[in-house]
Amino acid sequence: PVTRTIDRIETFFGELGFSVATGPEIEDDYHNFDALNIPGHHPARADHDTFWFDATRLLRTQTSGVQIRTMKNQQPPIRIIAPGRVYRNDYDQTHTPMFHQMEGLIVDKDISFTNLKGTLHDFLNNFFEEDLQVRFRPSYFPFTEPSAEVDVMGKNGKWLEVLGCGMVHPNVLRNVGIDPEVYSGFAFGMGMERLTMLRYGVTDLRAFFENDLRFLKQFK
């Protein structure tokens, strides 16, 4: 079911002109943290959240490093999605140490928050195959400004968080040699297991990793 979710998302964004970009799962602290405007004292760097090999190498906690590498090696306009496995030191009903993430990035001239909202609204309606009520809540991420978390209205009348997003922070653009006075962009990130749970009504994230054929055969 998670693979099916990834395929659906890649197809949707592929039709909008996004290309798929990939990067290493063993990452350095520059690409995973520093270049993304995440300071040294940020809690995400702590051992209880991140799997470190040594002082500078780690299992990536997000696929944002792919965005950094793409922006360093490619001039705008840029339009990519970055799917892949990510790792965080957490395990319970809604968290596993390894999960799949999809991030997206656009960098071009005259990109606005309105473009971000329109793109994600269309995506969510397509993914859930219904005209959803969607809201954007102000939030904070070091690598975007302004930042928002996106919720959809569930069938039970409650808001459900589905992804995070925002306008690429000027510091991030400067870190990769892109002039924020000329270019702007937006980025978004979402957990594939989270979206799959919401789409199919699964309540325990760990079920995706336990290889129970009785569970997996539901998704044929």
Any idea which of 18-22, 64-68, 76-80, 215-219 has the lowest mean pLDDT? 215-219
Residue 77: C-alpha distances to residues 54, 118, 210, 219 (Å)? 36, 19, 41, 38
CA separation for the pair 52, 26 (Å, rounded): 10
pLDDT tens, residue by residue, 105-133: 999 999 999 999 999 999 999 999 989 99
First-residue to last-residue Cα distance in the chain: 8
**Mean of all residue pLDDT scores within the chain:** 91
pLDDT tens, residue by residue, 62-78: 999 999 999 999 999 99
Band of the pLDDT at 156, cuts 50, 70, 90? confident
pTM of the model: 0.90
Dump strand ranges (E) for the chain.
19-20, 26-28, 57-59, 78-87, 98-108, 134-141, 144-153, 159-168, 184-191
All structural domains of the chain, each given as residue ranges with its CATH number in brackets, are 2-219 (3.30.930.10)
